[in-house]
Amino acid sequence: MDLKFVSMPKEEIEAIHGATLKVLEEVGVRFPDEDALSALESAGAIVDRKNMVARMTERIIKDALEKAPRNVVLYARDPRLNVDLQDKETHFCTSGGGAFIYDLESGERRRSVKVDSDRMTLVTDALSHYDIVQPEVMPSDVPERIQDIWRYAGAFSNTSKHVSCIVGPGTTKEEARDIVEMAACVAGGRDELRRKPIISIQEEPLSPLQYSANDTQMIIEYARHGIPIAIYSLTIGGATAPVTLAGQLVVINAELLAAIALVQSINRGNMVLYGSASSVMDMKTGNLALGAPERAILDVAAVNLARYYGLPSMMVALNTEASMPGTQAAFEKTLTGLPPVLAGANIVLGGATLDGGNTYSFEQLVIDDEICSGIARIARGFHVNDETLAVDVIEEVGIGRHYLEKRHTVRHVLTDTWYPTLYKRVKRSEPSWSLDMLGHHDLARTAKAKVNDILANHKPKPLEKEIVRRIQAIVARAERRSIR
């Protein structure tokens, strides 16, 4: 029994699709960039240049979806770590873009710097349940314009997994070209990078129904180089989208389909991923509630829409409003992480985050890896066949005996049963319960020890010295440009 593929009724999906087409044709989406408007106009969109809005018919959307690849592989520097999104597994990715971090040694919350980005990438490389690496934090000790360059450069040296980054706010077309050049050095040339892209980017709209000028330019620039692009909408139910989840999904879907049409009008066949980071506003506080159960519902619906369109999906989950590792963080991350996996999401993104995505933690990175491991085990369900039904073993053991020494148990004990790594299932009682005692048992203690062990002993697959030299030269050139 495979527990995946929680599905929506087809008539509900088609109702959302029909409402989306009406919005795209009558309202449209704003792309404040002439290249974008011209490309969409060439594809058949009706363009209002005064307001920089493109209105799109059903035919335009259908053509774009037909051009988008169904079979997507996110390649890695180490081919053994390639991520095939057709394998019916959910792959996990760390979150990114954090401005703050809890210092591993002191526990102090501070601005993140270059060494934090590199160290977190190295730890992620060692954690087995993250198949895709996103350098989690933004280095504040370099100019904003070249933060993405530093993140990618550090990632290439500290992981051999696929690298996917949300585009930083200061990145321009020049920096995007530098990043592509670095990736081409690692991949073995620009042609090889196009054939087997070892990086991807993530972009999100400026909801509702618009993209910023720079985000639009980033989509165009990376599409021209054949880089896979994950688009996920960050609508806020009740604020930047209707408060009803169905209405919110119409806005999400319109934003994503419009961007997919743009990508395909720039580079036919460019890989795109369909996603959502949306949630609802907590009307009591005015905050975006990233750990809300409604977010999980939206993600499940978005996975179903992606499958309806034949596109791979990337859902942002595993987030929390908790300010530090602990019970709230574990509760909200499991609450938002499990449903999209059960719905069949190709990628679930969000590891290491706290504080609504503002603050990151080494300890939380490790705890989230454990959560992903357990979630994946639930989704895998179980197989029913002669071997697993085990009738012959049941007959052999009979009544009142045990199965511990049976070969059948040895064959399956490590594959059918999940085991934690951050705690032991030891039966014991405490003489009393207190908040102080709770701290002694928190997973953050064992997670910190695991982080320190990885930093001391894990050695990522090294880059060739010549590739390192070329990357350093590209970074140095970008640094000089950023201070002119």
Q: Region 357-380: what's the mean pLDDT?
A: 94
Q: Which domains does the chain have, with CATH numbers?
A: 66-380 (3.20.20.480), 386-416 (no CATH)
Q: Which residue has 């460019």 as its token pair?
A: 270
Bond from prior residue into 139 cis (ω within 30 degrees of 0): no
Q: Taking the model in full, what pTM does it have?
A: 0.94
Tell me what percent of the residues of the chain surpass a pLDDT of 70.
98
- What's the average model confidence in pLDDT over 299-307? 97
- The C-alpha torsion from 154 through 159 and 164 to 165, rounded to 10°, is -30
Q: For residue 215, how far is the Cα from the chain centroid?
A: 18
Confidence (pLDDT) at 5: 72
Instruction: Say what the pLDDT of residue 6 is.
Output: 79
Could you give the 3-state DSSP secondary structure of residue 249?
helix
pLDDT computed for residue 443 by the predictor? 87
Torsion over CA: 320, 325, 331, 336 (sign): positive
For residue 277 the two structure tokens come to: 């980071």
> What is the rounded average pLDDT of the residues 106-129?
96
Cβ-based burial of 479 (10 A; exposed 0-12, middle 13-18, buried ≥19):
middle
pLDDT at 16 exceeding the cut of 90: yes
Contact between residue 348 and residue 337 where contact means Cβ atoms under 8 Å apart: yes
Q: For the chain, what percentages of helix, strand and coil (3-state, to nearest 5) are there? A: 50, 15, 35
Q: Look at residue 442 in the predicted model and tell me its pLDDT.
A: 79
Q: Is the dihedral of CA 471, 357, 419, 423 positive or negative?
A: positive
Give the pLDDT score at 175: 96
Q: Are strands 91-94 and 130-133 parallel, antiparallel or unpaired?
A: parallel
Mean pLDDT score of the chain:
94
Return the pLDDT at 30: 98
CA–CA dist 94, 304 (Å, integer) = 23
What pLDDT band is residue 3 in, cutting at 50, 70 and 90? low
Residue 50 is given by DSSP the state T
| Averaged pLDDT, 92-98 | 93
Question: Does 484 have pLDDT greater than 80?
Answer: no
Q: What is the pLDDT of residues 150-199, one digit of tens each?
A: 999 999 999 999 999 999 989 999 999 999 999 999 999 999 999 999 99
Helix (H, G, I), strand (E, B) or coil at 228: coil
Closest among 160, 192, 277, 300 to 230, alpha carbons compared: 277
Angle at 217 between CA 214 and CA 223, to 5 degrees: 140
Tens of pLDDT, residue by residue over 418-452, are 998 888 887 777 777 776 766 666 788 899 999 99
Please tell me the predicted confidence (pLDDT) of residue 174: 95
* Average pLDDT of the segment spanning 116-123: 97
Tell me the average pLDDT across 270-293.
Answer: 94
> What is the maximal distance between C-alpha atoms in the chain?
82
Residue 87 binned pLDDT confidence (cut-offs 50, 70, 90): confident
58-86, pLDDT tens digit by residue?
999 999 999 999 999 999 999 999 999 99
Cα–Cα distance between 319 and 356 in angstroms, integer? 7
> How far apart are the C-alpha atoms of 10 and 16, rounded to whole Å?
10
Mean pLDDT of 404-414: 92
pLDDT exceeds cutoff 90 at 1: no
4 pLDDT band, cuts 50/70/90, is: low
Question: For position 469, what pLDDT does the model report?
Answer: 97
Confidence (pLDDT) at 2? 63
Please answer whether residues 287 and 321 qualify as being in contact, where contact means their C-beta atoms are separated by less than 8 angstroms. Answer: yes
Higher per-residue pLDDT: 137 or 482: 137
Look at the block and give the residue holding tokens 């409402």.
Answer: 19
Take residue 106 and report the two structure tokens written for it: 């002191």
Identify the DSSP state of 461: P
> Tell me, what DSSP letter sits at residue 310?
T
- When pLDDT is averaged across residues 115-143 and rounded to a whole number, the result is 96
**Are the C-beta atoms of residues 434 and 317 closer than 8 Å to each other?**
no
| pLDDT for the residue numbered 88 | 83
Average pLDDT over residues 299-316: 97
Mean pLDDT of 11-29: 98
Q: Is the pLDDT of residue 38 over 90?
A: yes
Structure tokens at 240: 């930047």
E strands present in 17-72:
29-30, 46-48, 53-55
**Residue 408 reports pLDDT greater than 80:** yes
Is 336 in contact with 371 (CB distance < 8 Å)?
no
Going by C-alpha positions, the residue among 426, 343, 408 that lies closest to residue 378 is: 343
Better-predicted residue by pLDDT, 287 or 111: 111
Distance separating alpha carbons of residues 319 and 9, to the nearest angstrom? 28
